[in-house]
Protein backbone atom coordinates (compact mmCIF):
# COMPACT_ATOMS: atom_id res chain seq x y z
CA UNK A 1 0.00 0.00 0.00
CA UNK A 2 1.32 3.43 -0.90
CA UNK A 3 2.14 5.56 2.11
CA UNK A 4 2.93 9.24 2.38
CA UNK A 5 4.06 9.57 6.00
CA UNK A 6 6.95 9.51 6.66
CA UNK A 7 8.51 10.64 3.39
CA UNK A 8 10.89 7.86 2.31
CA UNK A 9 14.52 8.84 2.15
CA UNK A 10 16.24 8.40 -1.23
CA UNK A 11 18.17 5.17 -1.70
CA UNK A 12 21.92 5.70 -1.96
CA UNK A 13 23.97 2.87 -3.42
CA UNK A 14 27.71 2.51 -3.83
CA UNK A 15 29.19 2.96 -7.32
CA UNK A 16 29.56 -0.16 -9.46
CA UNK A 17 30.77 -2.81 -9.06
CA UNK A 18 29.16 -3.61 -5.72
CA UNK A 19 27.84 -6.42 -3.61
CA UNK A 20 24.38 -5.61 -2.31
CA UNK A 21 22.62 -7.66 0.37
CA UNK A 22 18.82 -7.70 0.44
CA UNK A 23 17.12 -8.20 3.81
CA UNK A 24 13.35 -8.18 3.60
CA UNK A 25 10.75 -8.76 6.25
CA UNK A 26 7.88 -7.29 8.20
CA UNK A 27 10.30 -5.88 10.85
CA UNK A 28 7.40 -5.89 13.27
CA UNK A 29 9.37 -4.52 15.03
CA UNK A 30 12.99 -4.57 13.90
CA UNK A 31 15.19 -5.84 16.73
CA UNK A 32 18.82 -6.40 17.62
CA UNK A 33 18.97 -9.88 16.11
CA UNK A 34 18.00 -8.47 12.68
CA UNK A 35 20.88 -6.02 12.95
CA UNK A 36 23.31 -8.68 14.17
CA UNK A 37 22.49 -10.96 11.22
CA UNK A 38 22.95 -8.07 8.77
CA UNK A 39 26.34 -7.19 10.29
CA UNK A 40 27.60 -10.78 10.36
CA UNK A 41 26.61 -11.51 6.77
CA UNK A 42 27.96 -8.14 5.60
CA UNK A 43 31.32 -8.79 7.23
CA UNK A 44 31.68 -12.45 6.22
CA UNK A 45 30.74 -11.87 2.59
CA UNK A 46 32.27 -8.38 2.39
CA UNK A 47 29.07 -6.81 1.16
CA UNK A 48 29.19 -3.13 0.28
CA UNK A 49 25.66 -2.55 1.54
CA UNK A 50 22.72 -4.31 3.12
CA UNK A 51 19.35 -3.01 1.99
CA UNK A 52 16.49 -3.38 4.49
CA UNK A 53 13.14 -3.84 2.73
CA UNK A 54 10.06 -3.65 4.99
CA UNK A 55 6.88 -5.23 3.67
CA UNK A 56 3.85 -3.09 2.94
CA UNK A 57 0.36 -3.31 4.44
CA UNK A 58 -1.07 -6.67 3.31
CA UNK A 59 -4.89 -6.73 3.27
CA UNK A 60 -5.04 -10.17 4.95
CA UNK A 61 -3.61 -8.90 8.28
CA UNK A 62 -6.23 -6.84 10.08
CA UNK A 63 -5.95 -8.18 13.65
CA UNK A 64 -3.55 -5.60 15.02
CA UNK A 65 -0.54 -7.89 14.88
CA UNK A 66 1.15 -5.90 12.10
CA UNK A 67 1.98 -2.25 12.75
CA UNK A 68 1.26 0.10 9.83
CA UNK A 69 3.99 0.15 7.20
CA UNK A 70 4.85 3.81 7.88
CA UNK A 71 5.70 2.94 11.51
CA UNK A 72 7.73 -0.14 10.62
CA UNK A 73 9.63 1.88 8.01
CA UNK A 74 10.44 4.58 10.55
CA UNK A 75 11.60 2.04 13.14
CA UNK A 76 14.01 0.52 10.62
CA UNK A 77 15.27 3.98 9.74
CA UNK A 78 15.96 4.71 13.40
CA UNK A 79 17.63 1.33 13.94
CA UNK A 80 20.12 1.64 11.08
CA UNK A 81 20.87 5.37 11.42
CA UNK A 82 24.59 5.93 11.71
CA UNK A 83 25.55 2.77 9.78
CA UNK A 84 26.40 3.90 6.24
CA UNK A 85 26.52 0.33 4.90
CA UNK A 86 22.88 -0.18 5.95
CA UNK A 87 20.25 1.38 3.70
CA UNK A 88 16.45 1.38 3.63
CA UNK A 89 14.03 0.92 0.75
CA UNK A 90 10.26 1.49 0.58
CA UNK A 91 9.98 -0.43 -2.71
CA UNK A 92 7.46 -2.95 -1.31
CA UNK A 93 5.54 -0.32 0.60
CA UNK A 94 4.93 1.61 -2.62
CA UNK A 95 3.72 -1.40 -4.55
CA UNK A 96 -0.05 -1.83 -4.73
CA UNK A 97 -1.55 -5.27 -4.41
CA UNK A 98 0.36 -8.37 -3.39
CA UNK A 99 4.12 -7.99 -3.40
CA UNK A 100 6.34 -10.78 -4.70
CA UNK A 101 10.08 -11.13 -4.09
CA UNK A 102 10.81 -11.72 -7.77
CA UNK A 103 9.28 -8.33 -8.65
CA UNK A 104 11.29 -6.61 -5.93
CA UNK A 105 14.55 -8.22 -7.01
CA UNK A 106 14.00 -7.41 -10.67
CA UNK A 107 13.31 -3.75 -9.86
CA UNK A 108 16.38 -3.51 -7.62
CA UNK A 109 18.47 -5.16 -10.29
CA UNK A 110 17.26 -2.56 -12.76
CA UNK A 111 18.02 0.28 -10.34
CA UNK A 112 21.45 -0.96 -9.31
CA UNK A 113 22.73 -1.94 -12.75
CA UNK A 114 23.83 -5.19 -14.34
CA UNK A 115 27.24 -5.10 -12.64
CA UNK A 116 25.76 -5.33 -9.14
CA UNK A 117 25.80 -8.67 -7.35
CA UNK A 118 22.61 -9.23 -5.36
CA UNK A 119 22.63 -11.39 -2.21
CA UNK A 120 19.22 -12.39 -0.85
CA UNK A 121 19.49 -12.88 2.93
CA UNK A 122 16.98 -15.41 4.21
CA UNK A 123 16.30 -17.64 7.20
CA UNK A 124 16.45 -21.40 6.70
CA UNK A 125 12.74 -21.83 7.48
CA UNK A 126 11.71 -19.37 4.76
CA UNK A 127 14.21 -20.80 2.27
CA UNK A 128 12.75 -24.28 2.65
CA UNK A 129 9.46 -22.81 1.40
CA UNK A 130 11.11 -21.30 -1.70
CA UNK A 131 9.60 -23.89 -4.12
CA UNK A 132 6.17 -22.40 -3.29
CA UNK A 133 7.21 -18.82 -4.11
CA UNK A 134 6.42 -17.08 -7.38
CA UNK A 135 9.05 -17.94 -10.03
CA UNK A 136 11.60 -19.54 -7.66
CA UNK A 137 13.96 -20.62 -10.45
CA UNK A 138 14.10 -17.08 -11.79
CA UNK A 139 14.88 -15.82 -8.29
CA UNK A 140 17.80 -18.23 -8.02
CA UNK A 141 19.03 -17.02 -11.39
CA UNK A 142 19.03 -13.29 -10.66
CA UNK A 143 20.45 -13.28 -7.12
CA UNK A 144 22.56 -15.39 -4.79
CA UNK A 145 20.73 -16.69 -1.73
CA UNK A 146 22.41 -16.48 1.67
CA UNK A 147 20.76 -18.94 4.05
CA UNK A 148 21.19 -18.44 7.80
CA UNK A 149 20.00 -20.70 10.65
CA UNK A 150 16.70 -20.46 12.46
CA UNK A 151 15.91 -21.99 15.87
CA UNK A 152 14.44 -25.45 15.54
CA UNK A 153 15.58 -25.81 11.92
CA UNK A 154 18.38 -28.03 10.59
CA UNK A 155 20.49 -27.57 7.47
CA UNK A 156 20.01 -31.31 6.95
CA UNK A 157 16.52 -30.43 5.69
CA UNK A 158 18.15 -29.10 2.52
CA UNK A 159 18.95 -32.69 1.50
CA UNK A 160 15.27 -33.23 0.71
CA UNK A 161 14.46 -29.81 -0.72
CA UNK A 162 13.19 -29.61 -4.30
CA UNK A 163 15.12 -27.39 -6.75
CA UNK A 164 18.48 -28.17 -5.13
CA UNK A 165 21.08 -30.65 -6.38
CA UNK A 166 21.92 -33.74 -4.32
CA UNK A 167 23.68 -32.66 -1.14
CA UNK A 168 25.90 -34.68 1.15
CA UNK A 169 24.15 -35.19 4.48
CA UNK A 170 27.43 -35.41 6.38
CA UNK A 171 28.40 -31.98 5.08
CA UNK A 172 25.05 -30.56 6.15
CA UNK A 173 25.54 -32.10 9.59
CA UNK A 174 28.85 -30.25 9.84
CA UNK A 175 26.97 -27.00 9.17
CA UNK A 176 24.51 -27.79 11.95
CA UNK A 177 27.36 -28.65 14.32
CA UNK A 178 29.26 -25.46 13.48
CA UNK A 179 32.36 -27.37 12.36
CA UNK A 180 31.92 -26.07 8.80
CA UNK A 181 31.95 -22.28 8.47
CA UNK A 182 30.36 -22.04 5.03
CA UNK A 183 28.84 -24.15 2.28
CA UNK A 184 28.53 -22.96 -1.31
CA UNK A 185 25.93 -24.80 -3.38
CA UNK A 186 26.46 -24.45 -7.12
CA UNK A 187 23.49 -24.70 -9.44
CA UNK A 188 23.53 -24.67 -13.26
CA UNK A 189 22.46 -21.31 -14.72
CA UNK A 190 21.91 -19.91 -11.21
CA UNK A 191 23.88 -17.54 -9.01
CA UNK A 192 24.27 -20.17 -6.31
CA UNK A 193 23.45 -20.53 -2.63
CA UNK A 194 25.61 -19.77 0.39
CA UNK A 195 24.84 -21.41 3.73
CA UNK A 196 26.32 -19.54 6.71
CA UNK A 197 26.00 -21.22 10.14
CA UNK A 198 26.07 -17.98 12.10
CA UNK A 199 24.48 -18.02 15.58
CA UNK A 200 20.71 -18.40 15.09
CA UNK A 201 18.40 -15.57 16.01
CA UNK A 202 17.14 -16.17 19.56
CA UNK A 203 14.77 -13.20 19.49
CA UNK A 204 11.37 -13.25 17.82
CA UNK A 205 9.26 -10.21 17.02
CA UNK A 206 6.16 -11.93 18.40
CA UNK A 207 7.87 -12.45 21.76
CA UNK A 208 8.88 -8.78 21.79
CA UNK A 209 5.30 -7.70 21.05
CA UNK A 210 4.07 -9.87 23.91
CA UNK A 211 6.64 -8.34 26.27
CA UNK A 212 5.54 -4.87 25.20
CA UNK A 213 1.93 -5.73 26.05
CA UNK A 214 3.08 -6.97 29.44
CA UNK A 215 5.17 -3.86 30.06
CA UNK A 216 8.44 -5.84 30.28
CA UNK A 217 11.73 -3.98 29.72
CA UNK A 218 13.26 -4.41 26.28
CA UNK A 219 16.93 -3.93 27.25
CA UNK A 220 19.36 -5.71 24.89
CA UNK A 221 16.46 -6.67 22.62
CA UNK A 222 15.46 -3.47 20.83
CA UNK A 223 17.64 -0.54 19.74
CA UNK A 224 16.82 2.27 22.22
CA UNK A 225 15.42 4.63 19.52
CA UNK A 226 13.07 1.86 18.37
CA UNK A 227 11.85 1.17 21.90
CA UNK A 228 11.23 4.90 22.43
CA UNK A 229 9.31 5.10 19.13
CA UNK A 230 7.10 2.15 20.11
CA UNK A 231 6.27 3.72 23.46
CA UNK A 232 5.68 7.14 21.92
CA UNK A 233 3.22 5.80 19.35
CA UNK A 234 1.75 3.12 21.64
CA UNK A 235 2.38 0.34 19.15
CA UNK A 236 1.45 -3.28 19.88
CA UNK A 237 -0.63 -2.38 22.93
CA UNK A 238 -3.65 -4.27 21.62
CA UNK A 239 -1.72 -6.89 19.68
CA UNK A 240 -3.68 -10.12 19.48
CA UNK A 241 -1.11 -11.80 17.30
CA UNK A 242 -0.49 -15.53 17.52
CA UNK A 243 2.26 -15.77 14.93
CA UNK A 244 6.02 -15.79 15.22
CA UNK A 245 7.35 -13.29 12.66
Phi, psi at 84, each rounded to 5°: -60, -30
Q: How far is CA 149 from CA 194, 203, 227, 233, in A?
A: 12, 13, 26, 33
Where does residue 54 fall: left (phi above 0), alpha (psi -120 to 50 degrees), or beta otherwise? beta
Instruction: Give the tens place of pLDDT for each residue, 66-121.
Output: 999 999 999 999 999 999 999 999 999 998 878 899 999 999 999 988 789 999 99
Given this model, what pLDDT does residue 65 score?
81
Instruction: Tell me, yes or no, if the pTM score tops 0.75.
Output: yes
Strands of the sheet with 19-25, listed across from one edge: 86-88, 49-54, 19-25, 117-123, 144-148, 193-195, 183-185
Q: How far apart are CA 223 and CA 210, in angstroms?
A: 17
Q: Which residues of the chain, if any, have pLDDT below 70?
A: 1-17, 59-64, 217, 239-245
Contact 22, 60 (CB under 8 A): no
**Pairing state between β 193-195 and 144-148:** parallel
Given this model, what pLDDT does residue 5 score?
44
Amino acid sequence: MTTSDPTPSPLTLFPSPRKLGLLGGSFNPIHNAHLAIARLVRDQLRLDQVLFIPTGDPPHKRDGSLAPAKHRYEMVRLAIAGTPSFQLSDIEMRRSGKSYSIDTVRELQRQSGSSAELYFLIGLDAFLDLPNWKEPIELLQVCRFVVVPRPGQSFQSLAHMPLLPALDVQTLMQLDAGTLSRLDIAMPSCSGIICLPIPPCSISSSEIRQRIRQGTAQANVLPPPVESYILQHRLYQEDCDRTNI
